[in-house]
Chain A
Amino acid sequence: MAKRKPKLAVWKFASCDGCQLSLLDCEDELMAVADTVEIANFLEASRRVTKGPYDLSLVEGSITTPHDAERIRQVRRLSKYLVTIGACATSGGIQALRNFKDVKDFIRIVYATPDYISTLDKSTAISEHVKVDFELRGCPINKRQLLEVISAFLGGRRPNTPAHSVCVECKLRGTVCVMVAHGTPCLGPVTHAGCGAICPAYARGCYGCFGPMETPNTASLSDWLIGLGASEGEIARTFHGFNAWADEFRQAGDLNEKKQDDQS
């Protein structure tokens, strides 16, 4: 008897769809994915939806509305194994910048009829609402890593997604360090690996899209960036980016902001 194919579902919360697109972007591998799993719910790819429960749920996006806070609980109930994909789902995303201010102020500025808007005052990670089995980092996620997570799930093994610095990836590919050789500020030493060190390979500093690495020393790096000529305000804005609400980056940004305020 043929083994039942595991059912895969892809869910979207507050997000830009970029991470789901990474799955669609796996052109060559998509057929293999479709061969090995039943794509039971993936609205970005097909309107056909098969009812749950699902063996593997990939969740994109953060929780920003009361409705979504309820919906993620349903998704959890329907899912055997739940993987969050991307910065929004794992740390609240760029939209978590609202968390630092009063969201009502934004609503007043943006919407003609603010009364129609029902939103939470914070954008939060999926793990703040339900149990998450695995978090895949990135803004957007790396498609090789996504395939690795799916393959590992199917093979019943742990995915290889190291939590060390981006620097290790730089060195493995032989990229010349942009901070040391060009004096370009780079968040690579405090950022979680996974992208393959794309930015330094194009002579740019790392923006920290994969969020904090396993043991980020943001204070030491901040001191060094000041020495390279960056201001506290600039450093604060760098940490308060796609992963602003990830603990270590939030605190590093806050600290630099405070230093800047103390000076003025």
Chain B
Amino acid sequence: MAEESNNLPSVTYTLEREHLHQLFDVLTGKGYRLLGPAVRDGAIVYDELTAPSDLPVGWTDEQDGGRYRLKKRADDAVFGFVVGPHSWKKFLHPPALRLWQLRREGDGFTVIQEEAESPKYAFIGVRACELHAIAIQDKVFLESKYIDPMYKIRREGCFIVAVNCGQAGGTCFCVSMNTGPRATSGFDLALTEAMEGERHYFVVEVGSPAGADALSEISHRESQADEETTAERIVADTARQMGREMDATGIKELLYRNYEHPRWNDVASRCLTCANCTMVCPTCFCATVEDVTDLAGDTAERWRKWDSCFTLDFSYVHGGSVRATTKDRYRQWMTHKLATWFDQFGSSGCVGCGRCITWCPVAIDITEEVRAIRETESKKDSAGD
């Protein structure tokens, strides 16, 4: 697992585009299962990879509220897009997972536990906001009194190749949330892709001994000063292109002060309670547990499945759901992301990836909702209220 370090490494290395496949070969040789971005069904999703040619070379995405379009680029950039509908949580915290089985035997039964071997994932192309999201889920699953063994087994031994974003998406706001676009920690290797005239290369930072070890087996050299400057410039340009912005100052208090704000009714009139936002959010961790039995009654299985605070079952207690209205549920989602998360886990639950905005079928925009609440407050203030 990548080690935490907030210091930017002083030395960077250059990896030529034509040698990128060596990274794939070396990681495959070390027994990793490579996962990363690939084009499927009109979007860039996370899938199994075998070679750099599986990556979305020459593709990009256009994103806005409730809208995503895959587009051809004018160049052959390998990572010339931002985050899509999937996040790494689909591997670390799978959408549906059998926890155990029971099998009837005579008058008793036996418990069959699920496999306990690390799948040895190598994630290729993890963005800065996503590193933060993984760190947040680490906190949820690994750093409390109750450790989630299913998450732990997948997370441990995970190799992370981060990518500093070369462009921002239409719904990105990592700069507002202080989570990007530069990867600062939580990776083994971090790449910045540069294309200048005929040249196409990656500036590589090493984030861990495992990263250094992998890099040592790949053709590379120390970067020249101009390559480093180019990489710096690329990330700085990205930071200026954010499609969205959110003023996060005092956000927790802002929302706590506004539990009864009329804006909740307004958003409730638009919200479909479809749960897409929570499903695509890389930090949302909620799951439900389902017990199933077979026809003969000889085996029972317990499954864990992603759940969402937008469903009625989520807050069902004897006799009914606590959050019966759409307003209750949208407010729960947004205040959890931006307020109660601080009290629960010591950070924001939102990393500014923009997925909930793009993949909301009716374009509900968390940054807009915050703005609407903040603006009425500042109007009240200026009216001397």
Interface residues, chain A, with chain B CB atoms under 8 Å away: 29, 32-33, 35-36, 147-148, 150-152, 154-155, 157, 160, 162-165, 167-168, 171-177, 179-183, 186, 188-190, 203, 214-217, 219-221, 223-224
Within 8 A of A (CB), among B88-103: 90, 95-96
Interface residues, chain B, with chain A CB atoms under 8 Å away: 40-43, 45, 66-70, 85-86, 90, 95-96, 269-276, 279-280, 290-297, 305-306, 308, 310-313, 326, 358-359, 361-363
A selection of 26 A-B contacts at a CB cut-off of 8 Å is A35-B296, A36-B296, A36-B297, A150-B295, A151-B295, A163-B312, A164-B275, A165-B273, A171-B279, A176-B40, A176-B43, A177-B85, A179-B361, A180-B66, A181-B85, A188-B361, A189-B274, A190-B274, A203-B42, A214-B273, A214-B312, A216-B272, A217-B269, A220-B269, A220-B362, A221-B272
Known interface pairs A150-B295, A176-B85, A220-B362; 7 further A-B residue pairs with C-beta atoms within 8 A, sorted by A's residue number: A35-B296, A167-B275, A168-B274, A168-B306, A174-B95, A180-B67, A181-B70
User: Do A203 and B41 contact each other (CB < 8 Å), given the known contacts A180-B68, A181-B70?
Assistant: yes
Could you tell me the distance in whole angstroms from the C-beta of A28 to the nearest C-beta in chain B? 11
Contacts of B90 in A (CB 8 A): 174
Separation of A214 and B67 alpha carbons in the complex (Å):
25
Q: Which 3 residue pairs of A and B lie closest in terms of their CB atoms, listed nearest first?
A: A171-B279, A189-B274, A189-B272
Closest to A35 in B: B296
Contacts of A173 in B (CB 8 A): 95
Could you tell me the distance in whole angstroms from the C-beta of B136 to the nearest C-beta in chain A? 19
A167→B279 contact, CB < 8 A: yes
A contact patch SS: helix
Contacts of B96 in A (CB 8 A): 172
Could you tell me the distance in whole angstroms from the C-beta of B78 to the nearest C-beta in chain A? 21
Contacts of A217 in B (CB 8 A): 269-273, 326
A177→B359 contact, CB < 8 A: yes
Separation of A214 and B164 alpha carbons in the complex (Å):
42
Separation of A32 and B296 alpha carbons in the complex (Å):
7
Could you tell me the distance in whole angstroms from the C-beta of A151 to the nearest C-beta in chain B? 5
Could you tell me the distance in whole angstroms from the C-beta of A212 to the nearest C-beta in chain B? 12
Closest to B363 in A: A224
A171→B295 contact, CB < 8 A: no
Closest to B303 in A: A160
A148→B292 contact, CB < 8 A: yes
